[in-house]
Protein backbone atom coordinates (compact mmCIF):
# COMPACT_ATOMS: atom_id res chain seq x y z
CA UNK A 1 0.00 0.00 0.00
CA UNK A 2 1.41 3.35 -1.07
CA UNK A 3 -0.53 6.58 -0.63
CA UNK A 4 -3.64 4.56 0.28
CA UNK A 5 -3.42 2.54 -2.95
CA UNK A 6 -2.48 -1.08 -3.54
CA UNK A 7 -1.55 -2.89 -6.74
CA UNK A 8 -1.11 -6.38 -8.07
CA UNK A 9 1.98 -6.52 -10.29
CA UNK A 10 2.09 -9.70 -12.39
CA UNK A 11 5.56 -11.23 -12.68
CA UNK A 12 7.38 -10.75 -15.96
CA UNK A 13 8.21 -13.87 -17.95
CA UNK A 14 12.00 -13.85 -17.76
CA UNK A 15 14.56 -16.64 -17.25
CA UNK A 16 15.46 -16.78 -13.56
CA UNK A 17 19.10 -17.56 -12.89
CA UNK A 18 19.09 -16.36 -9.29
CA UNK A 19 16.52 -14.60 -7.09
CA UNK A 20 19.14 -12.89 -4.92
CA UNK A 21 18.92 -9.12 -4.99
CA UNK A 22 15.39 -8.86 -6.42
CA UNK A 23 13.99 -7.09 -3.36
CA UNK A 24 16.93 -4.71 -3.23
CA UNK A 25 16.40 -4.00 -6.94
CA UNK A 26 12.77 -3.01 -6.30
CA UNK A 27 13.91 -0.58 -3.62
CA UNK A 28 16.63 0.79 -5.91
CA UNK A 29 14.07 1.45 -8.63
CA UNK A 30 11.76 3.21 -6.17
CA UNK A 31 14.65 5.29 -4.85
CA UNK A 32 15.77 6.26 -8.35
CA UNK A 33 12.25 7.36 -9.26
CA UNK A 34 12.05 9.50 -6.13
CA UNK A 35 15.41 11.03 -7.03
CA UNK A 36 14.14 11.71 -10.58
CA UNK A 37 10.91 13.27 -9.27
CA UNK A 38 8.76 10.61 -10.93
CA UNK A 39 5.38 9.50 -9.62
CA UNK A 40 4.84 6.40 -7.50
CA UNK A 41 3.48 4.38 -10.42
CA UNK A 42 6.73 4.86 -12.34
CA UNK A 43 8.68 4.02 -9.19
CA UNK A 44 6.93 0.67 -8.91
CA UNK A 45 7.34 -0.03 -12.62
CA UNK A 46 11.03 0.88 -12.48
CA UNK A 47 11.57 -1.22 -9.35
CA UNK A 48 9.95 -4.32 -10.81
CA UNK A 49 11.79 -3.89 -14.11
CA UNK A 50 15.04 -3.71 -12.14
CA UNK A 51 14.08 -6.85 -10.20
CA UNK A 52 13.23 -8.75 -13.40
CA UNK A 53 16.57 -7.72 -14.88
CA UNK A 54 18.51 -8.72 -11.74
CA UNK A 55 17.02 -12.23 -11.50
CA UNK A 56 18.28 -12.97 -15.01
CA UNK A 57 21.88 -12.79 -13.81
CA UNK A 58 23.93 -15.06 -11.59
CA UNK A 59 24.79 -13.48 -8.25
CA UNK A 60 23.14 -10.35 -6.93
CA UNK A 61 22.80 -6.67 -7.74
CA UNK A 62 23.83 -6.90 -11.38
CA UNK A 63 21.59 -5.90 -14.22
CA UNK A 64 21.77 -5.00 -17.87
CA UNK A 65 20.51 -1.41 -18.36
CA UNK A 66 19.31 -2.29 -21.88
CA UNK A 67 17.20 -5.08 -20.38
CA UNK A 68 15.61 -2.60 -17.97
CA UNK A 69 14.66 -0.38 -20.93
CA UNK A 70 13.09 -3.42 -22.63
CA UNK A 71 11.22 -4.57 -19.51
CA UNK A 72 9.96 -1.23 -18.20
CA UNK A 73 6.97 -0.93 -20.57
CA UNK A 74 6.00 -4.55 -19.84
CA UNK A 75 5.41 -3.97 -16.10
CA UNK A 76 1.67 -3.74 -15.41
CA UNK A 77 0.12 -2.20 -12.33
CA UNK A 78 -3.34 -3.59 -11.63
CA UNK A 79 -5.28 -1.71 -8.92
CA UNK A 80 -6.06 -3.98 -6.01
CA UNK A 81 -9.45 -3.41 -4.39
Q: Tens of pLDDT along 9-64?
A: 999 999 999 888 999 999 999 999 999 999 989 999 999 999 999 999 988 778 88
Integer angstrom CA distances of residue 6 from 19, 65, 70: 24, 27, 25
> What pLDDT score does 4 carry?
79
Separation CA 66–CA 1 (nearest Å): 29
In whole angstroms, give the CA distance from residue 28 to residue 38: 14
Residue 27 sits at φ, ψ, to 5 deg, of: -65, -35
The dihedrals phi and psi of 79, each to the nearest 5 degrees, come to -55, 135
Amino acid sequence: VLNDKAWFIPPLDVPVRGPGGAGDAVMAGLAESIWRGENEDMGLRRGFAYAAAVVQTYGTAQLDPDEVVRLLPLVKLIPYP
